[in-house]
């Protein structure tokens, strides 16, 4: 039963035209009640004046008067109904500046009144002719920031020389000889500039992606070169005896360390490029978000930090230098020769004579000839 009574009460306090709680309820001569705005709009669209409920015809447009009793009842009961239908203000949202006590979420901000309104308190701006001329925008927090601190007047112009927002009085004082334009005009200019930046950022990202690909290819080729060097060294050193295994292991370790150094260098460069991509992507997101705002002041204040691309390093000459192995194998072979000479001196006399039987020149393959030190003609004596 309680539920039924509540439903009935809400219907009794609702306008049958807008189906919402009465707003400035008035009564027609036939005794029915409507919102003043609803019934006036209803009759404005008709050629004759009838009651929307009973269709009673009035020869002249009735003189509507406020239903005082119903208005008082709506103030007591209808407020709770409207509050139930309208959203409460959440953290980060703009509250209504007119709501007493607990504030509702604002739906519009007036740039003339410098006040944010919920749907209920916005009604005069939708009904009163003078208030209808006030420009309404999406809810804006801290409307006082739109006032000139020096003259306490609304900021509606932009000084092109000093790149700041000014009021009308500023143009005859501090900015008297400066070129000024309306905020909207400068907004359109800056929007065009920001649009150009938005088009350039993807190209900058693409260039860095190509550079990453180029670096990865260089590292891949360096790996192949390193593998080939290791294989060639293995082929040369496996022909030797005694300390060949140690020489080969030492050489491989050197090559891998140089390759690791190259890879670390490449990783550092890639990390820097990837971070620039992240920064540029975030910047593009901010640019897109700013391009969709209708708040001229917020746009122009934020534009300064976004109009120029973020400082980045010149990546056009960026490259990874492959490690060099020239002369490296010769160094290890020279050490190996000295080791072998020392080991040969330890051989017994009979064994030494047997080795001297195979005395001769060491013939190198053309490709590996440059690895041997100058004058390294191996003659076992």
Q: Which secondary structure element, helix H or strand E, spans residue 166, and what is its range?
A: strand 164-166
Contacts of 33 (CB under 8 A, 6+ apart): 15, 22, 25, 26, 27, 67, 70
What single-letter DSSP state applies at residue 324? P
Dihedrals phi, psi of 373, to nearest 5 degrees: -65, 155
| Residue-level pLDDT at 140 | 81
CATH classification number, 2-84, choose in 3.20.20.450, 3.30.40.10, 3.20.20.70, 3.40.50.720: 3.30.40.10
Look at the block and give the residue holding tokens 């039924």. 4
pLDDT in tens, 24-63: 888 888 888 988 888 888 888 888 888 988 888 888 888 8
Contacts of 214 (CB under 8 A, 6+ apart): 319
Query: What distance, in Å, lies between the first and last C-alpha atoms of the chain?
Result: 121
Q: Give the pair of three-digit tokens for residue 316.
A: 């056009």
| Residue-level pLDDT at 316 | 62
Residues in the chain: 381
**Own/partner pairs for 9-14, CB < 8 Å, 24+ apart?**
9/77, 10/81, 13/70, 13/73, 13/74, 13/77, 13/78, 13/81
Instruction: Report the share of the chain in percent with pLDDT over 70.
Output: 76
| Residue-level pLDDT at 159 | 94
Find the angle CA(245)-CA(248)-CA(252) to the nearest 5 degrees: 140
Q: Report the side by side order of strands in the sheet with 136-137.
A: 115-117, 108-110, 136-137
| CA-to-CA dists, residue 301 to 105, 135, 144, 151, 256, angstroms | 25, 20, 15, 19, 54
| Residue-level pLDDT at 243 | 67
Dihedrals phi, psi of 143, to nearest 5 degrees: -65, -20
For the chain, residues with pLDDT lower than 70 are 1-12, 75-89, 232-244, 309-318, 342-381
| CA-to-CA dists, residue 208 to 44, 211, 282, 296, angstroms | 63, 5, 15, 34
């Amino acid at each position: 039963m309680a539920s039924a009574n509540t439903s009935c009460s809400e219907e009794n306090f609702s306008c049958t035209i807008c189906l919402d709680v009465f707003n400035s309820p008035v009564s027609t001569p036939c005794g029915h009640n409507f919102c003043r705005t609803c019934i006036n709009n209803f009759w404005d669209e008709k050629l004759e004046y009838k009651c929307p409920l009973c269709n009673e015809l009035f020869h002249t447009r009735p003189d509507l008067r406020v239903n005082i009793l119903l208005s008082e009842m709506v103030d007591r009961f209808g407020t709770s109904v409207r509050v139930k239908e309208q959203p409460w203000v959440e953290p980060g949202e703009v509250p209504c500046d007119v709501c007493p006590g607990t504030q509702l979420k604002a739906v519009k901000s007036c740039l003339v009144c410098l006040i944010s309104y919920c749907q209920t308190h916005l009604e005069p701006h939708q009904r009163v002719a003078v208030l209808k001329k006030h420009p309404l925008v999406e809810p804006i927090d801290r409307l006082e920031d739109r006032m000139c601190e020096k003259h306490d007047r609304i900021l509606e112009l932009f000084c092109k020389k000093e790149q700041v927002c000014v009021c009308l009085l500023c143009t005859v004082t501090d900015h008297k000889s400066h070129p000024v334009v309306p905020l909207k005009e400068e907004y359109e200019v800056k929007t065009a500039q920001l649009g150009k930046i938005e088009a350039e950022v993807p190209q900058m990202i693409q260039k860095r992606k190509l550079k990453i690909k180029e670096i990865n290819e260089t590292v891949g080729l360096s790996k192949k070169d390193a593998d080939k060097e290791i294989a060639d060294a293995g082929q040369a050193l496996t022909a030797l005896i005694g300390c060949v295994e140690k020489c080969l292991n030492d050489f491989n370790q050197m090559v891998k360390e140089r390759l690791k150094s190259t890879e670390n260098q490449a990783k550092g460069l890639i990390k820097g490029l990837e971070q620039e991509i992240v920064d540029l992507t975030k910047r593009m997101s901010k640019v897109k978000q700013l391009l969709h705002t209708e708040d001229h002041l917020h746009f122009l204040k934020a534009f300064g930090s976004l109009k120029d691309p973020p400082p980045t390093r010149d990546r056009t000459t960026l490259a990874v230098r492959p490690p060099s192995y020239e002369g490296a194998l010769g160094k290890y072979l020279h050490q190996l020769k000295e080791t072998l000479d020392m080991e040969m001196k330890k051989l017994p006399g009979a064994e030494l004579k047997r080795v001297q039987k195979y005395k001769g020149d060491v013939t190198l393959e053309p490709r590996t000839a440059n690895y041997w030190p100058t004058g390294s003609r191996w003659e076992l004596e």
